[in-house]
Amino acid sequence: MTIKDFIRNNPNSLVALAYNFAFNAHLGQKRKSGEPYFNHCVAVADILLSWNMDDETLAAGLLHDVLEDTKTTQEQIKKNFGEQILFLVDGVSKLGKIKYRGIKQKAENMRKFIFALSTDLRVIFIKLADRLHNMRTLNFLSKDKQKRIALETDEIYAPIAYRLGMQSLSGELQDLAFPYIYPDEYKWLIKNVKEKYETRTSYLKKIVPILKEALIKNNIKVLNLDFRAKRWSSLYKKLLLYDMDIEKIYDLVALRIIVPEIPDCYAALGIVHELWPPLPGRIKDYIAMPKPNGYKSLHTTVIGPNDKKIEIQIRTKEMHEENEFGIAAHWIYKYKKYAKNLGGVKLEKELDWIKQLNEWQNKKQNDDSSFDFLKYLKIDFFKDRIFVLTPKGDVLDLPNGSTPVDFAYHIHSEVGNSCVGAKVNDKIVPLNYKLKSGDIVEILTQKNKKPSEDWLSFVCTSIAKDHIKSALKQKNNFKNLPSKTEIRIVALSNKELIKNISSIILRSHFNILSFKTEDVYSKSYQINRIEIDSTNKEKIEKLILKLKDNLKDIKEISYKII
């Protein structure tokens, strides 16, 4: 069924309304391929429909580009389709702002960011459908864009699909990206493997009737019997392990038998082995012992007619679907590997989340209303972190409560030190503004600016605190802003006065920077101006007391910090 069929059957549905709305919004716009832009929206909705997504997701899929690429406002979407759909469309638009340019260390950050931003999983499903269609039509873009988008797909979106258990989507995305990222390797594969694919496939085609007949004769219901050609991208990885020797890759093309029940799997395996002798050590029972990622199937390699080796995979329909589109089971395994860096608490939360996903997945088989569960499934395992973007689309991972100043210091200490203001999503904000996931943060700087002491009252990362403190220290040591104090003493003229004042000051561990004296009232009084090297009020006041107590005939004593 296509989205057009869906609308024909449900002409008054939300999906039909979204279809017309998106059609009008994109009217006149063309894609790089020259076809109407709206075709892309329909293609995305078709993909979502093939994944059995709910009506709201289908409608949001049709509308996913209207905020970004047309004059449509958030208000209009809210008014016509409600808050839920606005949330989904807005979420997908936000994801569109992230750009990945191939720095491996940043990939994990970015995947986390995407999950954190997509508090509703359906946002990710729409984004994946969008990416799948864009990859299928990537040849129309410029070389530069092709490379960047293919890399982003391979390192960000394919792993996300994999983590959600969408194995075949993940594989398709990698395969679509492969020729753009590794053009030479791809050419090599085409040249060296294509013919092998074809000869193997035509060989297997001859074998299928023999196998089918044997299975039916033994009362095994065969639901499906087809070929599975190994994907380019995974074939290439395997070839690297086998000295690029294609003869060693038995599963270049595999036969796949789908049967109704688990006992049928073992019965079918026995029949296969009666037909052709199995290769020792190549029988794998992933039903009794599923792969760590949850994969279930029986595998065997047999020596077929003309001594050719054939890999045969046997599984139930249920296993097949789970392997292709199961959810998250693999994730636990993969996650444990780098969970050490994440700390136990977070991992617990993630596992809970995966448990929920699995429950949903199990429920889905016999309960149609379970899509409600998906709707309310919120991802909150990165609650204590926020993920924000630079204007270029790089992702920064900061603790909750971070401000633009924290952001600035995480970019570079110089950016922090010279920060004078900040824009968040194009609007000026105060420097103590609390950033939220998805914010695009731009720091305004001015040369030779220094951090201000009150930043310390609102920054929350230690990197920012440390840099501010050390910059303030430097400022006090080397800059001439309040750095000395003038003490003024009026007293009766006295030969010992200068000596006495000096010794009291020096004994209190101050340095005298200058000492000026003038006589007044025909020399009966003298005014002394002494500059010392401190601005510490508390210490200076103690000094003043000492001077008052120890000097004779004082008329007046005062100080000012200059």
Q: Is 65 in the site for Mn ion (CB under 5 A)?
A: yes
Task: Please state the closest distance from residue 395 (CB atom) to Mn ion, in A.
Answer: 20
Which one, 130 or 172, has the nearer CB to Mn ion? 130
Q: Is 172 in the site for Mn ion (CB under 5 A)?
A: no
Which one, 77 or 310, has the nearer CB to Mn ion? 77
Q: How much is the CA Rg of the chain, to the nearest whole Å?
A: 36
426 is catalytic: no
Task: Please state the closest distance from residue 97 (CB atom) to Mn ion, in A.
Answer: 13
Which one, 62 or 379, has the nearer CB to Mn ion? 62
Cα–Cα nearest to 79, from 3, 13, 17: 17
Which one, 22 or 319, has the nearer CB to Mn ion? 22
Q: Which amino acid is at 254?
A: A
Contact 68, 93 (CB under 8 A): yes
Task: Please state the closest distance from residue 23 (CB atom) to Mn ion, in A.
Answer: 15
Which one, 15 or 63, has the nearer CB to Mn ion? 63
> Which tokens in the block code for residue 44?
């995305």
Task: Please state the closest distance from residue 63 (CB atom) to Mn ion, in A.
Answer: 10
Contacts of 161 (CB under 8 A, 6+ apart): 128, 167, 169, 170, 173
Q: How far is CA 415 from the centre of its chain?
A: 24
> Which tokens in the block code for residue 36?
């109407």
How many Cβ atoms sit within 10 Å of the Cβ of residue 59?
28
Cα–Cα nearest to 276, from 228, 248, 246, 308: 308
Residue with tokens 């026995």: 270
Taking CB atoms, the residue at the shortest distance from Mn ion is: 130
> Which tokens in the block code for residue 372?
């409600």
Cα–Cα nearest to 372, from 84, 10, 59: 84
Q: Is 46 in the site for Mn ion (CB under 5 A)?
A: no
Task: Please state the closest distance from residue 387 (CB atom) to Mn ion, in A.
Answer: 22
How far separated are the first and last CA of the chain, in Å rounded? 82
> Which tokens in the block code for residue 550?
């120890």
Quick one: which of 56, 120, 130, 154 contacts Mn ion (CB under 5 A)? 130
Cα–Cα nearest to 335, from 313, 316, 351: 351
# chain residues binding Mn ion, by CB under 5 A: 2
Out of 35, 46, 54, 68, pick the active-site residue. 68
Out of 55, 69, 185, 318, pick the active-site residue. 69
Task: Please state the closest distance from residue 89 (CB atom) to Mn ion, in A.
Answer: 11
Q: How far is CA 526 from the centre of its chain?
A: 73
Cα-Cα-Cα-Cα torsion 236, 238, 240, 243, nearest 10 degrees, comes to -120
> Which tokens in the block code for residue 232?
């380019």
Task: Please state the closest distance from residue 40 (CB atom) to Mn ion, in A.
Answer: 6
307 is catalytic: no
Which one, 65 or 406, has the nearer CB to Mn ion? 65
Kindly provide the residue ranges of all beta strands, DSSP E only, lying in 405-503, ordered along the sequence: 419-424, 427-429, 441-445, 485-492
The DSSP letter of residue 433 is: P
Which one, 65 or 155, has the nearer CB to Mn ion? 65
| Chain positions contacting Mn ion, by CB under 5 A | 65, 130
Please list the active-site residues. 68-69
